[in-house]
Structure 1
């Protein structure tokens, strides 16, 4: 539960936008990298232009996500789950004060509230680890956290960007897919399923490099702290490395291109860590004595692979910012230590489907999740030791396999600063358990830009 909460993300869209907006010839609007509209507070009586003139730029948003169990799931009692958050992402230009080329201070602060997850309360059997979420921004409790605070600068005529500080992986890595769906596994890329690092509002120490070999091809690398304690409340604003288990070495290739004159973005990445790992399958450890060395299966490293693409497929004849895009992304982990063996998601998005609503979106996506056989075998071993075989016995440890989840949404933008996104989710085998009834979940996400 702790590990999966650390993968919750929201607001990847704006972070990715900052990266992809640098190339004026590559328009990623239909891919989901859409600039925020004019905020509710406008220029704030002239304060915002003054801040911008002095190099301070920010995006301040409010988000809430509602989920209601229409039918099915583990618990059929109806419940409307509600969570919300405020998030500010900002940059301060330091070049004007220091003379260092493109020197920038980058920050992110997130305030989350309510932590009311429909998944854990109604949809899924709590006796197995969660593998998806009905509200991708749920998790880590009601708390205000530092998402990141980093220093960045460029070298070699802006081809190399260097970043260092208390950072989050979304600043540099796995930026090809926006976080628009409310179902977690359809939101953003799959690198967080490594369970090694966190999305969005969790920081650890690190440094990263992104080098543009060509305007289209970027190589990314870094070294980041691998700290399972980073999700703890005590770490919300901490500079400490207490709890660190080792380091993560991520490598990624990102390719921005045009196919038939339509923009697309592709990536392939891997992570390696030297942190000590525990095998999910204890085997005979449950029969072994406390001093039996064979009772502890540990090893000193693990890995994770991820990749995908996001490609515009059609363009409206009269508006380059309207059209259809499609994408697939996936993650593949070491099932000895990662209870999610692999996950893949396929999505379609259309911006401006109706002439009268050129800034509205419609999206549909499907994900497939396969659970580690080491984790499943360990559940079976627990049942054998307990002498239970009845799923409804409180002592029984359910044995997961695979799950298929889907979502359809429509996003309205009635004014520039407001987005309303109703949708419906379908959960096949929630928690990857065949014993849990398939579920239908209604959703409503609201975003207000200030």
Structure 2
């Protein structure tokens, strides 16, 4: 679900898995867009072991991440709390072409260990009586657990223009790859495709197969068929090969462009997602009235749709250094609000890499997100209050009625040593969870990344 949003480590992981002929053909350099090469690891060459593995086609990234959030003021619960989560992530790629002769053949894998299941959003910032629509710590996955993120086979055809992938996969391997996950706030982390709530990000796998075809050196068309399994994020599915719990299939289609505009790189995408899996209506009952009072329960829809889009464009180049400059990104999602409680989400950000000559690899970022909650979801909340006769917001049995929220984040990231990144920042939450009666909140944050 949304809480499985991929982390800053995804950028390094995808660098191992995605070698884009578009980028090579036009010398597309995405460093200022946030797609940095993996930093020098703390373990170095490990007495030559890393070099031996690489010579045999095995490359990997092993990283550690922790995210700390403290409620500096406001929110639903004003009691001070420091929330802490962390994870270890191993992403690997075994080249098979040298052994089999199959063009660009490879095995791809991802294993994630998450710990300290402590989320400030639902414990302090947001009213727990409504569904969360953002997170102070984007890597919070709802569990302390070790799970398989993906294990797939991939190869290319037609002089590497067509890439085919199959296996236990995750959508981030193929789709919505244009914006990195550098911010700690979930809504600013990557694109908005996870807001469909019908597939998962980063560390949750389902069966599927995808195709990506380079129509031109800068334009790629992507599609696939993936399992829609609401149980995929459960603990008993962490290492499971089973399709138990599957409700249908997901049919994603995306077009991505990575052009050079005035000599500066950009990444753009537009995607649609259709599923034939039944989706429960947020208000309507099976008999036509309100589901909360319908003896037959809430109505189901036979299918649903979702749309996402975005861009990430470098705006300036710092003197003659292509790895320093300003970039801007925007991403949005639009859902079927009959069954998705987040109707529309819009996120914009500015990033600058190397603002100071003395710190050419430091980052500074600022982002804002507007979230509009489903009218159908709000309608059901009002009806539940009508049934109970409760109108007092402070009554624990009251059902808050969500509308819209506006969240912002500012961060500064620096690298004191090559293998360590420290990213302090601050978040501001206006109408947390979309509830106007919840006091606006300030959150102080610190993200730490170690590369092994």
Q: What interval of TM-score do these two structures reach, taking the shorter chain for normalisation?
A: over 0.9
Out of 281, 292, 303, the residue aligned to residue 286 of structure 1 is: 292
RMSD: 1.2
Gaps of 5+ in 1: none
Question: What corresponds to 2:340 in structure 1?
Answer: 338
Deviation at 1:7, TM superposition (A): 4.4
Question: What corresponds to 1:306 in structure 2?
Answer: 308
In 2, the alpha carbon distance for the partners of 1:190 and 1:382 equals 30
In 2, the alpha carbon distance for the partners of 1:416 and 1:198 equals 31
Scaled by the length of structure 2, the TM-score of the pair is: 0.96
Are the aligned partners of 1:310 and 1:325 in contact in 2 as well (CA < 8 Å)?
Answer: yes
Are the aligned partners of 2:155 and 2:165 in contact in 1 as well (CA < 8 Å)?
Answer: yes
- Per-residue CA deviation, residues 153-180 of structure 1 (Å, 9 max, x unaligned), is 0000000000000000000000000000
Out of 158, 168, 171, the residue aligned to residue 169 of structure 1 is: 171
Question: What corresponds to 1:155 in structure 2?
Answer: 157
Q: Which stretch of structure 1 is more off in the superposition, 198-207 or 20-29?
A: 20-29
Gaps of 5+ in 2: none
Question: What corresponds to 1:357 in structure 2?
Answer: 359
Q: What does 1:125-136 correspond to in 2, within 5 Å?
A: 125-136=127-138
Deviation at 1:209, TM superposition (A): 0.2
Are the aligned partners of 2:283 and 2:290 in contact in 1 as well (CA < 8 Å)?
Answer: no
Q: What does 1:186-265 correspond to in 2, within 5 Å?
A: 186-265=188-267
Question: What corresponds to 1:418 in structure 2?
Answer: 420
Question: What corresponds to 1:14 in structure 2?
Answer: 12
Q: Secondary structure at the match of 1:426?
A: strand
Q: Secondary structure at the match of 1:264?
A: strand
Note closer, same or farther for the CA distance 1:147–1:448 as it changes in structure 2 (3 Å cut): same
Question: What corresponds to 1:324 in structure 2?
Answer: 326
Are the aligned partners of 2:13 and 2:61 in contact in 1 as well (CA < 8 Å)?
Answer: no
Are the aligned partners of 2:5 and 2:189 in contact in 1 as well (CA < 8 Å)?
Answer: no
In 2, the alpha carbon distance for the partners of 1:357 and 1:7 equals 29
Question: What corresponds to 1:26 in structure 2?
Answer: 28
Are the aligned partners of 1:10 and 1:200 in contact in 2 as well (CA < 8 Å)?
Answer: no
Are the aligned partners of 1:153 and 1:162 in contact in 2 as well (CA < 8 Å)?
Answer: yes
Scaled by the length of structure 1, the TM-score of the pair is: 0.97
Question: What corresponds to 1:41 in structure 2?
Answer: 43
Out of 80, 91, 97, the residue aligned to residue 89 of structure 1 is: 91
Deviation at 1:418, TM superposition (A): 0.6
- Per-residue CA deviation, residues 21-55 of structure 1 (Å, 9 max, x unaligned), is 65231000000000011100000000000000000
Are the aligned partners of 2:57 and 2:95 in contact in 1 as well (CA < 8 Å)?
Answer: yes
Are the aligned partners of 1:20 and 1:28 in contact in 2 as well (CA < 8 Å)?
Answer: no
- Per-residue CA deviation, residues 250-285 of structure 1 (Å, 9 max, x unaligned), is 000000101111100100000000001110013433
In 2, the alpha carbon distance for the partners of 1:15 and 1:250 equals 22
Q: Secondary structure at the match of 2:290?
A: helix
In 2, the alpha carbon distance for the partners of 1:133 and 1:59 equals 26
Are the aligned partners of 1:105 and 1:152 in contact in 2 as well (CA < 8 Å)?
Answer: yes
- Per-residue CA deviation, residues 299-333 of structure 1 (Å, 9 max, x unaligned), is 21100000110000000113110000001110000
Note closer, same or farther for the CA distance 1:176–1:119 as it changes in structure 2 (3 Å cut): same
Deviation at 1:20, TM superposition (A): 6.0
In 1, the alpha carbon distance for the partners of 2:182 and 2:142 equals 20
Note closer, same or farther for the CA distance 1:263–1:8 as it changes in structure 2 (3 Å cut): closer
In 2, the alpha carbon distance for the partners of 1:258 and 1:353 equals 22
Out of 381, 390, 411, the residue aligned to residue 409 of structure 1 is: 411
